[in-house]
Amino acid sequence: MYLLVPSNSKDLMETALWFKNPIALKLLEEKGVEFGFELKGEPETITEAPDLYWGYHIPVNFAEKYHYHPENRQELLNSLKHITKLKPHYVNMHGIKLWWKPARGKYVKRYESRDSALEYFEILKETIELVKKVKEIFPQLTFENTTLTDYYHPDSEVIPMTALQTSIGAVLDQIYIKEQTGVELLLDIEHSIVSLNFLNREKNYADLKQDKIDLTSEEGKISNIFGYKIKKGFIPYAEPKLKFEEIVAKSNAKRYHVTGTTQDVIMGKKDLSHAPIQINDRTFRKNLRTILKQKPESILIETAKKSDYKCFSYLRENETELSFYAMCQILLEEL
């Protein structure tokens, strides 16, 4: 198994020093866990292959650019092709999402679907076609799940405000994409937990209303693919509730992104995404045991640090490094 850390090309040498830490060397010696990177950044910044195991994360807005700018589609695909010569062990991508910023004051309206089930399905089909095209470039492609909710920061504040977005690959539709394309899946644990909080009305979504949605036969078939009830003008929900352990088992992914996050925000107060990994976090360990049962090939820690964005000002500057050491200790105890 490989334990990976996020990096960009210019920080590789500095980040690789983490692997020389005594706790990392102990994990390698006692459990055989090796180390590597998931590189992030625009395709043109990836010009050399790291000496260690590595993957490349295509920019998260790649599929959106493809959707909204059909005149640039071939150029976008061509921008990736030079990376094949560097021989990454995997390349990861997100699906198309229709993202929008609703008015801040309309609390409930922020969560109502502006798209019908059929419109969701049309975007799903477009994502499937895009995955097929990218997979022609990278046979080792993986497809990552995203979140149904997102947050944005008003210009004058750092307060996260949560809203519904059309995300393809949010829950069970990720599995449908695999069935249609043969792409391998990458399961982002934070994205899964946040989506389930929303669909199951838990954590900071516990008080969000759940009006009963009556579906047509066609809407029912589409909702079954996505894993939750979808209807224009209504707030999506899961019925019955979805379970994290079952989604992990059904996904049968061999690659994972992990953080210490169990909810995305404290409403109107704090951004909790990409939270640090703590050695004594029982919930994190429980979730980790669930994914270790799948015998993963790689696990990436995807935690934030102070300088990433203003919303993470409460974190330490070496937070990601400390999370890596904590993860090493946890794996020593859990493997």
Provide the pLDDT for residue 313: 87
Share of the chain above pLDDT 90, in %: 83
Tell me which residue range forms the domain holding 279: 2-334
pLDDT tier, 266 (very low <50, low <70, confident <90, very high otherwise): confident
Provide the pLDDT for residue 201: 97
Whether the predicted pLDDT of 102 surpasses 70: no
Provide the pLDDT for residue 75: 97
Q: What beta strand segments (E) does the chain contain?
A: 2-7, 34-40, 53-57, 90-93, 97-98, 141-144, 149-152, 161-164, 166-167, 184-188, 255-258, 265-266, 270-271, 298-301
Q: Which is more confident, 98 or 3?
A: 3
What is the rounded average pLDDT of the residues 243-257?
A: 97
Provide the pLDDT for residue 161: 75
Provide the pLDDT for residue 101: 61
Report which DSSP code applies to 201: T
Domain with residue 46: its CATH number is: 3.20.20.150
What is the rounded average pLDDT of the residues 281-301?
A: 98
pLDDT in tens, 158-204: 667 788 888 999 999 999 999 999 999 999 999 999 999 999 999 98
Provide the pLDDT for residue 157: 62
Distance CA 318, CA 169 (A): 31
Provide the pLDDT for residue 308: 87
Q: Which is more confident, 157 or 261?
A: 261
Whether the predicted pLDDT of 44 surpasses 90: yes
Distance CA 291, CA 189 (A): 9
Whether the predicted pLDDT of 276 surpasses 80: yes
Q: Give the count of domains, the chain.
A: 1
Distance CA 195, CA 189 (A): 10
What is the rounded average pLDDT of the residues 66-71?
A: 96
Whether the predicted pLDDT of 84 surpasses 90: yes
What is the rounded average pLDDT of the residues 54-73?
A: 96
Which of 193, 205, 272 lies closest to 235 in space, CA to CA? 205
Instruction: Give the phi and the psi of residue 217 in degrees, each rounded to 5.
Output: -60, -45
291 contacts 179 by C-beta, under 8 angstroms: no
pLDDT in tens, 143-166: 999 999 887 666 556 667 788 888
What is the rounded average pLDDT of the residues 219-246?
A: 96
Whether the predicted pLDDT of 97 surpasses 70: yes
